[in-house]
Structure 1
Amino acid sequence: MLLSGLCRHRRHVYHFFCFLLCTVFFNTAAASAAKHIPSLDNYFKETLNTRSGLPHNTINAITQTPDGYMWFGTWEGVARYNGREFRIFDRNPQTGLPDVGVRTFHLDKHNVLWIGGARGGLVKVQDGQWQAFPPFGELINRLFMDNQDRLWVATEGQGLYMQDATGKRTHFTLDDGLPSLQIHSLQQDANGLLWVGTANGLVYLDAQLQIQPVAADEFNGVPIFALELNHQAALLVGTERGLYLAQPSQSKPLTLLDNVPVSAILQENSDILWIGTIDRGLLRLHNGITESLDMRQGLPNNRILALLKDKEGNLWVGTNGGIFRLRDAPFNTMTTEVGLAGNYTRALLSHSNGCMYVGSSRGLTRICNGAFSIIDLTAVSVGQSVLSLAEGPDQTVLVGTYADGLIELQHDQIRRHYDTGNGLPANEVRAILPLGNGQMWVGTSNGVSLIKDDGILSLGVADGLPSSFVVSLFQTPDQRIFIGTGNGVAVYENEQLRTLNIAAYDDAHYAFGMTYDAPVNILWITTDRGLMAYHLASNDIQIIGRAQGMPFDKIFELVQDQQGSFWISSNRGILRLNRSHALALLAGKRSSLSVELYGESDGMISSQANGGSAKAGALHHDGSVWFATSMGVTRVQPERLQQFAEIAPPVVIEKVHVDGQALPLGSPVNLVAGSNRLEISYAGLGFVMSGRIQYRTKLEGFDRDWVTRGTANTAEYTNLPPGEYRFLVSASYPDGEWSKQEAVYTFTLLPHLWQRWWFKFAIILLLTTLSIIAVRWRMSSLRHTEQRLRKLVAEQTTELQLLARQDALTGLANRRAFDEELQHEYQRAQRNNTTLCLALIDVDHFKRVNDQLSHAVGDEVLKRLAEVLKQQCRTVDLLARWGGEEFVVLLPDTSLQDASEVCERLRHKVEKLNFTDLAADLHITISIGLTTNNKLELPQLLVSADKALYNAKKLGRNRLALADNTR
C-alpha cells in the first residue's frame, strides 16, 4: 500500500479514500467543453513591486480578508492593498510583531487573520485589532487552524506546535516521530487528519495526535513544500521532485508533474490547478494540458512563493520579484506572441465567414476560432504593410496596402491586383468601399477611384475633392458616397462632387471614419475635433466635442455595440459613451456627456489606437468590439464588461481626519466642539477595474440624498452644525450596481457651551425674563413719564394759568385775575351782606419818570411799588396791577374805616420809599380812590373808585379820597 502507516489507522481514514480519485486533469470532455478557459496569453498581466509601494519584493504569503482587502506578507512587514495603494504594518506597538519579517498567513473559519514570521512572531488580526502572542523563538513557516479550533504552528527548526483555544501549547519534535524539525506545509483532510510536510518527508497526525509516517518512496527524504486538497478533497502533495496525488488504493501516489520543484498549489475549481514552482515560474493544469508562464512572458521572477484567487477571479502570485497578477481584464490584446503578423495594426475586417482579419505593418492575419494564420502577400507586396480592409463579392477579402496598391483575395489566394500600373492614382490605399453592383471605390493618398468593369474613374482636387488624401469612404442607403479626406468631406451624388464645410465646426479637417445609425438616419463622422452627426434627411451637422464632454479632440473610429454604447478609438485610449445620451445631447435634452476612457490598466498593452485608414475598428459576430492599436489588436466584450459591473465591490472607510488630526475608525465618535474640517477617506475593494470604481456618499443629518462622488475617494465637510451624524458610502463599477452593504461611520459633533440645548433654553429663559423686566420697566417708566408729564403739564398749565392771571412786570395779579376775583367777592359780599371795599391807586407824575429817566427806571419803580404794596396789604386783600402805573386793592369783609387805614398805610409807606439809587431827586407818591359796595352794583364799583381817585389827584395828589357812596 501507498501509506503503510495510514493503513494501520484505516478505520479513521476509510472515508477519506472511499471515492475514485479523478484529478482535474482527467475530467470528461463534456465538462471541459461547458466552459471556455482562455489561454494564459489572453490574461491581463500586472506586476506590483517596491516601485508600487511594497516594502519588499519577496512575497511570502497572500490572503484576502472578508472585508475585501488583499494582504501580502514580506520580509519588511505586512502590506495591505486596497487596489490603489498599500498600507504597511511593521514592528510597532500596534502590531506587536517581534520582527518585520512575515512568512505566512492563515485565515480561519471565524475570519480571524493569523500572521506568523521571523523570531517566531505570532499575531492575530480581528475587526481591525491586532493581538500578539508569546513568540515561538524560531521562524514560523506555516499556520493552520484545524476543525477543533486548534492552531498548528510549523517552524523552521523547532518542529511543530499546537496551541489550543486557551493558549496552551503542545510541542512535537523528533522524539514524537517527526522526520525533521523543519516544517514546510500543513493541511487537514475531510476526516480530520492533519498532514505535515517536512524537509524530510510527509507524515500525519491521527485522532490521538500520534504522528504516523507515510511510507512512499516519492515522499521519503524529500522536502514537502505544499499540501492542498483538490476539488474531491484528495490530497495534492507538492515536493522538490514534483506534484503528486495521494491514492490510498494504490501503492504509489499518482504523479501529476515529474521533476518539477513545486512550492505552491491552488485548486481553482474542478478543472483548473495552478502550480507555483521554485525556479520554473507558474504552471496551469487544465484537462491534462499544462501551460507555463515565466519571466519570458512577464513574470517578475520564476520563484513562486504564494498563490491566491480572489473573490473577483483575479489570480495573485507571490514571487521573489513582487506581486504578479493575472486577471480577466475588460480588454484583451493580441500581439505577435500569439500569432499576429505584426504589432502595429491598422485595419480590421469582421468577415461573414466568422473570421477576423487584422492588417498590420508586417502583413495580414486571419483569426478564426482562436487560431491565427498569416496570409502571404509577398507575391505582390514585398513589405506586406496593410492599411485598409473590406469584404468584397463572393466573400473575397480586399486588402489596401501602404505601397503596393489594392489586393483582392479569395480563399487566401491573390485574385486581382490594382496599382498605379493599371489605373490607381496612388499605391497607398487607405479606404475601400465595395458596391453591390460589382464596382468599388478606392481611397488613396492621391485621390479617390471608382473601379468599374469598363475602367477606373479617378477624382482629385481638380474635380472638387477638398483634399487628395482620402482616409474613409461610406455609402448611405440613398446611394450617396461620402468621402473623408484630410481636409474635409466630399459627397458624390448624381456624378457630381460637393463639399461639406466641416471646418465651420471648431475648424475640423480630418474625417477619419464614418458609421451609419439607421434608426435615427444619422451618419456619425469621427474627426480631429470630435464626433460629428450628419443628419441625412436635413443635411444638418452637429458636433460633440470638448465643450460637450469629449476628453480630447482627435478620434478615429466609432463602433456601436449590441448594448447601445459607442466605442471610439483615439491616440489616448478607447472611449465608451452611451448612444442615447449622445442623441439626447443633440436634441438639447442634455448639456454634456459622461465618457469612460479605457487604456493600459484595462488590458490594452498600448492605449494608442491607430486611425487614418479604414476600418480601424470592427464589431465581430460574437458581439466583441475590436480596435487596431500600435501594440497589437485589442478587443473588448461589452457583455463581459457588464458582468464585471454587476459585481459590486465592497467598500470600507480607511481614514477619518478632523482639522488634520486622525480619528479612530471605530464609531460612534464624539468630535470636540468647534471641529471645523472633516475628511473621510474610503476605498472600494474591487481589483478588476479598481481605477474605475465609482462612489456615492450620504451624511445623514446633513445630506438629503446621495451625493455622487465619481472616482474621488474622499468626502470633505466644513462648518457642520452640532448634532448626531451617520456617514454612509457605497461603491460600484461603471454602470454597475451599488454595493449592498454601505460602509458606515457614526459621529457626534459636540456643541459649544452656548450651543447646548439647556444653554439655549437658559438664554431663552433669561431673555424672556429680561424682556418681561424690560417691558415692566418700560411700562413703569412710561407710567412715571406719564405722571411726570402730567405733573409737568399741570405745572405748566398752572404756570400758564398763572401767567394768564399775573402781571409780567410786577408779579401781581393782572386785571383779568382781579376781575374774576372782584366778581367772586362781590357776589359773596352780597350773599353775606358784608362790606366789600375797593381801592384804586395811581402813581403820581409817573409820566415824568418815563420821559425824564427812561422806561427802564419807570419799570423798576413799578416793581418796587408792587413789592411794598404787597407787603403792606393784608393776607385777605387782593393786590393787582390795573394797568400802566395804576394798582387796585380788593378788601373783602372790610369796613370803610379799616379800609381807609390800610390805604393810608400804603400811601404813607410809599411816600417814605427811597429811590435815590435810581435817580438822585426821584420821589414817588401815590393817590388812592376808595369805595365800597354800599348801594352800588358791580359795574358801578370801579367807576366809583375811579371818581374818588380823580378827586384825590384834583385835591393835590398824595392823598386818599373817598367815593360819594361812602358818605
Structure 2
Amino acid sequence: MTLIHSSKIIIGVVLLYAFTLAHASTTIPLTDYFKDTWSTHEGLPHNSINAIAQTSDGYLWFATWEGVARYNGREFRFYERSSKTGILDSGTRTLVSDTNNGLWIAGVRGGITYRQGNNWQPQLTAPSMVNNILKDSSGDLWIAVEGLGVLHRPKSSLENSVSKENWALQNISANRLLEDSKGRIWATTNKGLFQLNGNNKQEVLARYNLPELHVYAILETHNGQMLVATERGAYIIGDKRATLLHPSLAGEAITTLMEDDEHNLWLGTIKNGVVRFSNNQIERLDTQSGLPNNRVLSILEDLEGSIWIGTNGGLMRLRKAPFTTWTKKRRLVGNYVRSVINIDNKSVLVGSSEGLSLIDQGIAQNAQANNSSPVSVLSFAKRHDGGVWVGTYLKGLMLWKDQQLIPILDHKKGLPTDEVRAILDDSHGNLWIGTTNGLVQKNASGQQKIFTRNDGLPDNYIMALAEDDLGQVWVGTGVGVAKLTANGFELVPIHNIENAEYAFGFWMEKGYVWIATDRGLIRYDQKNAQLGLVGRRSGLPIDKLFQVIFDGTNGLWLTSNRGIWRIDYNAAHAVADGRQNTIAFEHFTESDGLASAQANGGSNPAAVAMDNGKLWFATAKGVAMIDSSTISQKNTARLPISIESIVVDGVELSNTQQNILPAGTNRVIFNYAGLGYILSSRIEYRTKLVGFEENWASRGKNTIAEYTNLEPGSYQFLVSARYPYSDWNNADQIYKFTILPHFWQRLEVQIGLVVFVLILLFGIIKWRLQRLQKSELKLKALVEKQTYELRQQSKDFQRQANEDELTHLPNRRAFDKWLSEAFIKAKENNITLALVIMDIDHFKKINDHYSHLIGDKAIKSLAAKLRSLAGKKVHTARWGGEEFTLMIKEMSEGDVTAYCENLRHSIETCDYNDIAPDLTMTVSMGVAFSHQVDNYSDLLRLADQALYKAKEQGRNRVEIWQ
C-alpha cells in the first residue's frame, strides 16, 4: 500500500490533556506512569525493537529483525525488503529521523535507504551490517559498521553519487555516532570511545583509567555534559575526569541513553530493564513492573512526552495519566476505599475496608499509631474542635486525632446500629450520625435523639448528610431526600424526576443543592423549590451517580460504577434550567490512571475537592487523585493528520500518479489518521470535499471517507481531527484532485454539438419553408373553404387542449402556460409567486379498496374543492393522475404556508361518505417559491422535490423547499 502524506505538516506538541505537558515542573514517580505494551500479538512484526524514531509528520517508526514498522496510533504498517524501498534485508538495526520529515533506515547486509515524505531514496550499500548513521551539520554522512569501523562519506560524494568514502575508524565494531554542540563527531565501539574529527584519534576513556570498555551509547545532556553508556556503568566525561553517574550503576551493562524534556536520564540495560536517573535518585523498571523483557535496546520520548521502550521481548509505552492512584503497592492500608477527606492542602485521610491511611505530600502511611486494631471505615466528617469523625462498619462512631482512633459512640451508647455511613458536624454545634437504622442527633449539651421514618424521614437507611447555606440539614436515604426546616423534616420529591430514589451524595452552593442519585444529577433550586435533572435525556450515558464535587473553576465531577465523569458547571445549570438540551462530558477510566473504574458510593464523603484544585476519589482499588487545574487548561496544540492512502475504483494511487483521475471515476476512498498516541482510540474526525460538500461531515472515530458518482471537476479533500470535547484543529491536510470528463462531457464538444444541431435545424427549416411556399397557393382555396369549420373546431380543440376531461379543471398544458407567464411577471415586478404540487396519499389503496369508479369520484370531489379556490391570486389545475397544482401570487411565505396547511387540514377532515362509506383522503404538498430559482422549470423541480420529501417524512404534510 502506498502511503500519501502532506509535505508541509506543521507539528506542535500534541496533547490530550494539559497534564501531559512535556515541560511539567514536577517529575512524577516512575510507578505513576500508565503502561501500554505491544508484541507480535498486537501487530509488531518482531519482538526485538532495535531502534525507535519519530518523523516530523508525527509517525512513529520501529526497527525490528523482520522489517520496519510504522505506527499511526491504531495499527502497524510493515516495510520489508524490496527494490522500491532500497531495503536489502528485513533485519533493521537503526532508524534516524531529521527535521525535514526524513528517515534514515539501515541494517543487515549494509543496506541504507532514506525516506522523505513518501519517497524512497536507496543509498550506496555499506560493506557489512550498519549499526548507526549520522548526517552531520556540514552534510557529511558517517556510518557505523559492525566489525569494520566507521565509514565517512563526504557531502560531495552524496550529491554526485560518486563513491569518495573513507574509513574514519577501521577493524572495530562501531555502535553509535553523535555530533555534539561543539561540532565534534563521536563514535562508541567495542573498544572504547573515539572522536573522529579531532587531531587525536586515540581512544578517549583510557586517559580516565577506563581502558578497553565496550561503549554502547553516548549522549550530550541539556547542560552540555557528555554521558557514555558502557558495559560497566554510565560515566559523565569531562576534560579532566570521568565520573560514575550513580554508585548503584557500577558494573551495570548499559545499552542505550535518552534525556527527556524534564531533563531526566533514561538508561537501558542488558539484563536489568530500565533505569531512570532524576534528582540524583535512581528508579528501576523491569519485568516485575510490566516491562516485556529486561534487555533494553532502544528508548525514545515522543512529541507528546510519552516514553517508548524497545526491548528484546516487545515494546512498552509509559505515558502520564491524568489520575494518580494509591493502592497497597504504594503503602495504602487497604485497596477497597469507601471514603476520603482532606485534612489540609497537603494531606488526606483515606478510609478503607482494612483501616485508615494518611497520605501526606504524596506518601501514604498507616494513620493509626502503634498499628492498633484496624477498623472497616465507611465515612468521615471534620470535627470543629479538631480531628476527624470516623464512621465505621462494625464499631460505630470514632474520633481520629493525633494518630489515635478513639471510640465515641456505638449501639451500647445509643446508636441504633454500629454501621455509620454519614456524619455531619453542623454550624449549630449539632453532631449528626447517619446509620442504617436511623439518624442520630447529638446536640452541644450532649443530648441524643434518634429520627426515623416516624419523624418524617423517607427511610431509616441514611447514606448522605450535608448542610446548606441556609443552615438546613439535608438527609439522603435509599428511598428519597429530606431537609430539616424549622417545621421539622420536609420531603424533597426527587421521585418526580424519573422515579429517582437513592440519594448518594450532596454538593451545596449558594441557592442550590446538587444531589447525586440513581437517576442522574438532580439540582434543587432553593428560591423556587424546583427540581432539574442532568441525566440520560441530556446525554449522560449512565443513571447512577455516587458523588458530585466542584473543582473550584468550572467543572462538576461525578463518580459512578463506570468511571469518573466531568461536566461543565455552567452547562449543568443550563440543562437543569431547560435552556440547553444536551451536555458534553469527559469520561475517565482505567486508561486514565485509575486502578479501577469502579468508584465507591453509599457512604460519605466518597470524593473530596481541595482548595489547591486537587480532587480525591474513593474507588474499589485504591484512592485516586487528579489535579483539576491542569485539566481545565485549554488544549490549543495541533494534532498531526496524515492522509495515508487514496483508493480510486479499487486501485490505490502510487507516488508517480498525478491527482488527475480518469473520466468515469466512480468511487474515491480516503484513509486518514490523526497521529496522536496518548489515547488514539478517542480521536474524532470530520471531513469536507470542497466542490461537493458545503459543510463539514462528522466522521466520529471513523478513519475512512468514501465518495461515489462525483461529477467531472476539481475537488479539495479536507480532514480535521480533535480529542473529545476540545477544539477542532485547523485542516492543513488538503488533497486536490480533478476528475476528467468523458468525451461528450467536454465543453468544446458540447458547444460543437450545439452548433451542429443549430445548422441542421436551420437547413431543415429552410427546406421546409420552400416546400410550404410551393403549396401556399393550393392551400389558400382550401383554407378559405374550411375556415368556418376550422374556427368551430378550433374552439373545441382549445377547450379540450386546456381542460381536464374528468374534473373540468385546467390541465397541465394550460397550467404550464399560466406558470411561465406568471413567473416572468413575478421576476420583473419582484413579487412572490409560489408553486404547490399536491398528491393524494395512497391513492392506489382507494382504487384497490373501493374501485376505480370511486377513485374517479374522489378526484372529482377534490377538484371541486380546488375549483372553489380559483381566483385572482390562486390558479389550480389537474397535473395528472392524482396530482394537482396550485399557483399562488402575491402572498408571503408565511401566508402560503398557512394557506396550504388550512387546505391540507380541510381535505383531511372533509366528509366523503357521500362517495363511499368510511372513505378518507389526505394529501401531501411540496411548495417552492420563485425567488429560489431563475427559471420556472427549476421552480417545478424544487416543488416536486419538496413533495417527494413530504412523502418521505410520512405524507399528509406540507413541505417547504429549503
TM-score range, shorter chain: 0.7 to 0.9
Could you tell me how far apart the structure 1 residues matched to 2:327 and 2:750 are? 73
Establish whether residue 507 from structure 1 lines up as the match of residue 504 from structure 2: no
Deviation at 1:660, TM superposition (A): 4.1
Residue of structure 2 equivalent to 1:494: 486
Matched AA of 2:220: L
Matched AA of 1:534: Y
Matched AA of 1:362: E
Residue of structure 2 equivalent to 1:40: 30
Matched AA of 1:503: H
Deviations 1:767-803 (A, max 9, x none): 6567767877898899899877643233558999xxx
Contact map agreement 1:356 1:620 (CA 8 A) in 2:
no
Deviations 1:342-395 (A, max 9, x none): 222221212346422222222222222223232128998x45222222212133
**Against the structure 1 CA distance between its residues 787 and 324, is the aligned structure 2 distance closer, same or farther, given a 3 Å change threshold?**
farther
Could you tell me how far apart the structure 2 residues matched to 1:536 and 1:690 are? 44
Establish whether residue 580 from structure 1 lines up as the match of residue 570 from structure 2: yes
Please, which runs of 5 or more residues in structure 2 have no aligned partner? 1-22, 791-962
**Against the structure 1 CA distance between its residues 750 and 513, is the aligned structure 2 distance closer, same or farther, given a 3 Å change threshold?**
farther
Contact map agreement 1:115 1:122 (CA 8 A) in 2:
yes
Contact map agreement 2:585 2:725 (CA 8 A) in 1:
no
Deviation at 1:192, TM superposition (A): 3.1
Residue of structure 2 equivalent to 1:337: 329
Decide which of 446, 457, 481 is 1:454's aligned counterpart.
446
Decide which of 651, 675, 678 is 2:665's aligned counterpart.
675
Could you tell me how far apart the structure 2 residues matched to 1:591 and 1:768 are? 61
Could you tell me how far apart the structure 2 residues matched to 1:745 and 1:671 are? 13
Deviation at 1:123, TM superposition (A): 1.4
Residue of structure 1 equivalent to 2:853: none
Could you tell me how far apart the structure 1 residues matched to 2:244 and 2:109 are? 37
Contact map agreement 1:225 1:263 (CA 8 A) in 2:
yes
Deviation at 1:732, TM superposition (A): 3.1
Establish whether residue 305 from structure 1 lines up as the match of residue 297 from structure 2: yes
Residue of structure 2 equivalent to 1:144: 134
Deviations 1:306-327 (A, max 9, x none): 1111222111111123222222
Could you tell me how far apart the structure 2 residues matched to 1:201 and 1:125 are? 32
Tell me the SS of whatever aligns to 1:582.
helix
Report the TM-score, using the length of structure 1 for normalisation: 0.73
Deviations 1:488-534 (A, max 9, x none): 2233333533433433333322222221243xx33222222222222
Q: How does 1:182-221 map to 2 (within 5 A)?
A: 182-207=173-198, 214-216=205-207, 219-221=210-212
Q: How does 1:503-902 map to 2 (within 5 A)?
A: 503-518=495-510, 521-643=511-633, 645-664=635-654, 669-740=659-730, 742-765=732-755, 790-795=780-785
Could you tell me how far apart the structure 2 residues matched to 1:573 and 1:160 are? 55
Contact map agreement 1:352 1:395 (CA 8 A) in 2:
no
Contact map agreement 1:424 1:456 (CA 8 A) in 2:
no
Contact map agreement 2:377 2:392 (CA 8 A) in 1:
yes
Please, which runs of 5 or more residues in structure 1 have no aligned partner? 1-32, 801-967
Deviation at 1:697, TM superposition (A): 2.9
Tell me the SS of whatever aligns to 1:537.
coil
Establish whether residue 228 from structure 1 lines up as the match of residue 219 from structure 2: yes
Could you tell me how far apart the structure 2 residues matched to 1:666 and 1:334 are? 56
Residue of structure 1 equivalent to 2:360: 368
Deviation at 1:474, TM superposition (A): 2.0
Residue of structure 2 equivalent to 1:468: 460
Tell me the SS of whatever aligns to 1:55.
coil
Could you tell me how far apart the structure 2 residues matched to 1:586 and 1:207 are? 74
- Bigger Rg over Cα: 1
Could you tell me how far apart the structure 2 residues matched to 1:685 and 1:494 are? 61
Deviation at 1:464, TM superposition (A): 3.7
Deviation at 1:399, TM superposition (A): 1.6
Tell me the SS of whatever aligns to 1:332.
strand
Matched AA of 1:662: E
Tell me the SS of whatever aligns to 2:783.
helix
Contact map agreement 1:353 1:395 (CA 8 A) in 2:
no
Residue of structure 2 equivalent to 1:442: 433
Decide which of 346, 359, 380 is 2:338's aligned counterpart.
346
Deviation at 1:61, TM superposition (A): 0.6
Tell me the SS of whatever aligns to 2:206.
coil
**Against the structure 1 CA distance between its residues 771 and 432, is the aligned structure 2 distance closer, same or farther, given a 3 Å change threshold?**
farther
Could you tell me how far apart the structure 1 residues matched to 2:724 and 2:789 are? 95
What is the percent sequence identity of the aligned residues? 39
Tell me the SS of whatever aligns to 1:585.
helix
Could you tell me how far apart the structure 2 residues matched to 1:609 and 1:788 are? 105
Residue of structure 1 equivalent to 2:122: 132
Could you tell me how far apart the structure 2 residues matched to 1:786 and 1:569 are? 98
Tell me the SS of whatever aligns to 2:258.
strand
Matched AA of 2:325: T
Contact map agreement 2:345 2:610 (CA 8 A) in 1:
no
**Against the structure 1 CA distance between its residues 797 and 606, is the aligned structure 2 distance closer, same or farther, given a 3 Å change threshold?**
closer
Highest RCO, 1 vs 2 (Cα 8 Å, sep ≥ 6): 2
Residue of structure 2 equivalent to 1:402: 393
Establish whether residue 428 from structure 1 lines up as the match of residue 419 from structure 2: yes
Tell me the SS of whatever aligns to 1:793.
helix
Tell me the SS of whatever aligns to 1:215.
helix
Residue of structure 1 equivalent to 2:151: 161
Could you tell me how far apart the structure 1 residues matched to 2:708 and 2:190 are? 61
Establish whether residue 393 from structure 1 lines up as the match of residue 384 from structure 2: yes
Contact map agreement 1:159 1:172 (CA 8 A) in 2:
no
**Against the structure 1 CA distance between its residues 779 and 105, is the aligned structure 2 distance closer, same or farther, given a 3 Å change threshold?**
same
Deviation at 1:169, TM superposition (A): 5.3
Contact map agreement 2:345 2:612 (CA 8 A) in 1:
no
Say what the alpha-carbon RMSD is for the aligned residues.
3.2
Could you tell me how far apart the structure 2 residues matched to 1:415 and 1:553 are? 38
Deviation at 1:67, TM superposition (A): 0.6
Residue of structure 1 equivalent to 2:903: none
Contact map agreement 2:136 2:179 (CA 8 A) in 1:
yes
Deviation at 1:270, TM superposition (A): 7.5
Deviations 1:533-561 (A, max 9, x none): 22222222222222220112222222222
Residue of structure 2 equivalent to 1:813: none
User: How many residues are treated as equivalent by the alignment?
Assistant: 761
Matched AA of 2:437: N
**Against the structure 1 CA distance between its residues 587 and 643, is the aligned structure 2 distance closer, same or farther, given a 3 Å change threshold?**
closer
Residue of structure 1 equivalent to 2:270: 278
Deviation at 1:764, TM superposition (A): 4.6
Decide which of 254, 258, 261 is 1:262's aligned counterpart.
254
**Against the structure 1 CA distance between its residues 130 and 617, is the aligned structure 2 distance closer, same or farther, given a 3 Å change threshold?**
same
Matched AA of 1:83: G
Decide which of 109, 112, 135 is 1:122's aligned counterpart.
112
**Against the structure 1 CA distance between its residues 300 and 361, is the aligned structure 2 distance closer, same or farther, given a 3 Å change threshold?**
farther
Could you tell me how far apart the structure 2 residues matched to 1:563 and 1:534 are? 21
Residue of structure 2 equivalent to 1:477: 469
Could you tell me how far apart the structure 1 residues matched to 2:522 and 2:789 are? 99
Mean CA deviation greater in 286-295 or 713-722: 713-722
Residue of structure 1 equivalent to 2:928: none
Could you tell me how far apart the structure 2 residues matched to 1:784 and 1:412 are? 127
Could you tell me how far apart the structure 1 residues matched to 2:207 and 2:768 are? 109
**Against the structure 1 CA distance between its residues 722 and 624, is the aligned structure 2 distance closer, same or farther, given a 3 Å change threshold?**
farther
Residue of structure 1 equivalent to 2:311: 319
**Against the structure 1 CA distance between its residues 188 and 427, is the aligned structure 2 distance closer, same or farther, given a 3 Å change threshold?**
same
